[in-house]
A and B are shown apart, each in its own frame.
Chain A
Amino acid sequence: MDFTYTETQDMIRDTLSRFLADTYDFETRQKFINGDTGRDPAIWTALAQDLGMLGAAFSEEQGGLGGGALENAIIMEELGKVIAIEPYLPTVVIAGGALKAVGGAQADAMIPEIIAGNAIVAFAYAEPQGRYDLANLRTTAKKDGAGYVLNGHKSTVYAAPWASHLLVTARTGRNQRDKDGVSLFLIDANLAGIVRRDYPTVDGSRASEIYFENVAIPGDALLGGEGTGLPLIEQIVDEATVAVCAEATGVMQKLHEGTLEYTQQRKQFGLPIAKFQVLQHRMVDMFMEVEQARSMTVMGTLKLDLPANERMAAVSACKSKVARGAKFVGQNAIQTHGGIGITQELAIGHYFKRATMIEGQFGSADYHLDRYERIALAD
């Protein structure tokens, strides 16, 4: 048993951490998110070209550094520590994950573009009626000659306003909630008939409602088999779920550290409030949640390659624990800060907002508890 990181992994963390310390302080982040486009593209280019960071999770044959899920987790945690809004999750973890899984010409063509920072992919999977059910799809892709015609509505597609490509789940057959008949497509984001309504999100990112209106897509946009895409989608969403847990670990660590720091400065009744036992115990409880989130993320990451049922149970255990921990740490960070915690002025509130959104991303604590029960505690 060995939970140490390799030299390369340590180097990835250190390099990224130093880069973000120089480029992504809280005020700079606020400038990015309040600007017209909501981001600074130079950061993404630097992550790709100066740091080689976007290749960390791809094999050397594909032009990467030979890593995988652990590298994704390291990078997501560091991005979480600065509440970065960079589209690493949909582009590298999700689209990159799908491409690695299907391989072939599509992977050969697209992965170098991702590694170089030329391609940004948004993951259009959620639908207004679907909640967390990946197979609950009204979006359809109908066979049309060699290609397909896409129709439907995808909701809250994070990073879509910045995207060059969209990774889309759609139904190529069967009925709305069937497990069969689901397919995955990687398409150009600017095809005719793609209508976007862009907006900011409460946690500082940008997202879109996307409407597909008779969008003609080529046949080679299909990733994997037609109508048999659900297991692949479940796999990449599980990888993404663990990755947001890694991000949450970084966010929670900062919420805890910020609270420790604040309580040692803030004086009431003649003492730093960190001296009050009721607050000390609370900060100890927060600390324990951060540590357990980190443990569960390691566990989830290491079990991503297991057979589907074991993987799903592990990922659900991880997400339900992290979601609850993120709520606990976030709420108590705000409460312990008092009034200043609920303003936009301190970073702490912005970490809390991201932690809150992570709670529900790819399934709430209840959703994952339920999935865990169904798999791990099956009769």
Chain B
Amino acid sequence: MDMEFSPEDLAFQKEVREFIAENYPAELRGKQDEGDELGKEDFLAWHRILYKKGWVAPAWPVEYGGTGWTPTQRFIFSEETARADCIRLMPFGLAMVGPVIYTFGTPEQKAHFLPRILSGEDWWCQGYSEPGAGSDLASLRTAAVRDGDDYIVNGQKTWTTMAQHADWGFFLVRTDKDAKQQEGISFLLVDMKSPGITVRPIITLGGEHEVNEVWLEDVRVPQSQRVYEENKGWTCAKFLLAHERTGIAGVASSKRGIEKVKEIARTELDGDKPLFANPFFKRKLAELEIDLTALEFTELRSLAGANAGKGPGPESSLLKIKGSEIQQRLTELTLEAVGHYGAPYFRGFGANDLGGDNEHPIGPDYAHRAAPTYFNMRKTTIYGGSNEIQRNIIAKMVLGL
């Protein structure tokens, strides 16, 4: 057992670091530093650069466009992108439906969709939750009925992140009304420009338009766009949720988040000293950092298990619970650190496709989104299977209760 990087790994780290320094878009960096709300083109800018370099999907098998990196190299890559505060790539294609398609899809589906996910040509969204089916996902009611070579889909989805930009969506639909809950569900790929689809914004607490309601009314979907067998979509759904949970720990970005809080605390004054000298604040930072270290080494142990051929199992629930709690505590500390300047509210001030007002906020740049981010990040303990559900999973699957 050891935790040192090999000379090859260190060389790789240097290569990644230099690539980011030379290629990360300056304009995007500027918007991020000022706390501007980001739009579709901002997200795609970095995606396209990584695609061109061949680094956009490190986790994919090489035959489908992956990098062939070792798990350690992938770890280094995610550390370096987080350290440099690179914008996160939209996970819906790369981390969610992509793996489902290369694992369960037909040769035609693989050939058509995977290259377009890699290039960023298609923007994907996830049609899972419904108004009556949140934590109890399997109780979903959106129905697909066969009609010749097609399905006719009717129903309503909610919390559909970034659906306002989406070209395609992957939807869980009920194809057998009489089957028990988790049976009778199928996994469909739906063209979001199909007639009968309506996307309505849901504005979240920080004022963001991030999630949507999606209404499906007699939407025609070819059966060739069903992934895996009819009524066996739950297999894909479970596979995807487990994958979603591994990324959800967010260790690298939380590490960067702690560095940011430290920078703020070194700048903000508390009496005649920086806030960083306040023992109460520092104690909370220390506790957070230690909890993050515990999460990091738990994730590394889980990764090592994955290297040995074990798929992500129920222990990924632990990563989700602890990772999301740490992300939330980071936003709490940030809001606390900015003091009075947590109160001013400037909705997405820059010109972007989410509708900014261009009025520049007052107060330090790092304060602009402290409160909206704190409000927004309450979602992390709710989405991807709420933390209550994750604890149920651990109780049942790990503890055997």
- Which A residues are closer than 8 A to B by beta carbons? 126, 128-133, 136, 155-156, 158, 177, 197, 199-203, 207, 209, 267-269, 276, 278-279, 327, 331, 334-335, 338-339, 341-345, 349, 352-353, 356-357, 360, 364, 366, 369-370
- Interface CB pairs A-B, < 8 A, 13: A128-B341, A131-B339, A155-B340, A199-B344, A201-B345, A327-B332, A331-B378, A335-B386, A343-B202, A343-B205, A353-B375, A357-B371, A366-B336
Does B19 reach chain A (CB closer than 8 Å)? no
Contacts of A177 in B (CB 8 A): 271-272
Give which listed residue, A338, A353, A370, contacts B205 with CB less than 8 A: A353
Given the interface pairs A342-B204, A342-B378, A352-B375, the reply to whether A268 lies near B134 with Cβ below 8 Å is yes
0/1 string, B346-357, CB within 8 A of A gives 1: 100000000000
Give which listed residue, A136, A360, A369, contacts B342 with CB less than 8 A: A360
A207 and B136 within 8 A (CB): no
Residue of B nearest to A367 (CB): B280
B342 and A131 within 8 A (CB): no
In angstroms, Cα B270 to Cα A136, docked, is 10
| A-B contacts besides A131-B271, A200-B345, A276-B388, 9 pairs, CB < 8 Å | A131-B270, A132-B339, A155-B341, A197-B362, A202-B345, A203-B343, A344-B204, A356-B371, A357-B342
Does B253 reach chain A (CB closer than 8 Å)? no
In angstroms, Cα B269 to Cα A342, docked, is 32
Given the interface pairs A339-B134, A342-B204, A342-B375, the reply to whether A155 lies near B363 with Cβ below 8 Å is yes
The listed residue with most B CB atoms (<10 A of its CB), out of A126, A130, A199, A327, is A199
Contacts of B340 in A (CB 8 A): 126, 128, 131, 155-156, 360
Does B132 reach chain A (CB closer than 8 Å)? yes
B280 and A202 within 8 A (CB): no
Does B182 reach chain A (CB closer than 8 Å)? no
The listed residue with most A CB atoms (<10 A of its CB), out of B158, B271, B339, B375, is B339
B280 and A342 within 8 A (CB): no
Interface size on B, residues (CB 8 A): 53
Residue of A nearest to B281 (CB): A366
Contacts of B343 in A (CB 8 A): 156, 158, 201-203, 207, 357
In angstroms, Cα B378 to Cα A177, docked, is 37
- Which 5 A-B residue pairs are closest in the complex by CB-CB distance? A268-B136, A366-B280, A202-B371, A156-B340, A202-B345
A272 CB to closest chain B CB (Å) equals 12
Does B382 reach chain A (CB closer than 8 Å)? yes
B241 CB to closest chain A CB (Å) equals 16
A349 and B375 within 8 A (CB): yes
A103 CB to closest chain B CB (Å) equals 31
B386 and A338 within 8 A (CB): yes
B205 and A209 within 8 A (CB): no
Does B81 reach chain A (CB closer than 8 Å)? no
A175 CB to closest chain B CB (Å) equals 10
B261 CB to closest chain A CB (Å) equals 15
Contacts of A335 in B (CB 8 A): 378, 381-382, 386-387
Given the interface pairs A269-B136, A339-B134, A369-B280, the reply to whether A156 lies near B344 with Cβ below 8 Å is yes
Does B231 reach chain A (CB closer than 8 Å)? no
A361 CB to closest chain B CB (Å) equals 9
